[in-house]
Amino acid sequence: MEDNRRIDERQAGILREAAALAKGELEHEGSGHDWWHIYRVTELAKRIAAEEGADPFICELAALLHDLADEKLVDDPEAGMKRTENWMLEHEATADEAAHVMEIIATMSFKGGGGAAMKTPEGRVVQDADRLDALGAIGIARTFVYSGKKGRPMYDPNIPVRQEMTPEEYRSGKDTAINHFHEKLLKLRDLMNTEAGRRIADDRHAFIEEFLLRFDREWQGR
């Protein structure tokens, strides 16, 4: 379903300011959650929103702001959430728009696979866009960037893949870069909310599977 809604002048101004905010805060972030991650997620969200008939303004604004209060990036996520909400209200977003974006940001994280379902079409679009950036060639690159930043080993056959995790275990348990593919990334295709997201995920998922087969062969000296 194609969406015919257009972003008006007020909304376009908010989006320009939101992009500047995200770029200013995340431009030098070094764990794979930088400005270019935001840029890619935003482009994916716009693409999926157009196919799914979701509100383009809400999707784009949530994509631009979604990592500003992420617990991986800030010391006080709750304060970060409040700051993000206040920023929107101070930049001419309506109360309903700000509340919708905050609901998306608050519930879109993977959290070991046990997060709450997204309540709105816009939430489903933005969650898919964010998850798609963890798949394919970009997803592989980001995994190793994040692992290097956190001192996580590339691979250790003595560290088992975890099957069921609480959010706390997902964030703090013993892990490797390769295990992360099995614990999270290979699960994302089946968690896609939208038809467009699933279609894009199919190709990116297959690329990761091919990479892991090649990695295993080379690990064994073959």
Q: Terminus-to-terminus CA distance in the chain, angstroms?
A: 48
Which of 214, 158, 217, 152 is CA-nearest to residue 184?
152
| pLDDT for 169 | 67
The CA-atom distances, in angstroms, between 192 and each of 27, 129, 205 are 28, 9, 12
Dump pLDDT digits (tens) for 117-175: 899 999 999 999 999 999 999 999 999 999 999 999 999 999 999 887 666 766 667 89
Dump pLDDT digits (tens) for 65-89: 999 988 787 789 899 999 999 999 9
DSSP alpha helix (H) spans, 30-91? 35-52, 56-65, 77-90
Going along the chain from its start, the domains and CATH numbers come out as 9-219 (1.10.3210.50)
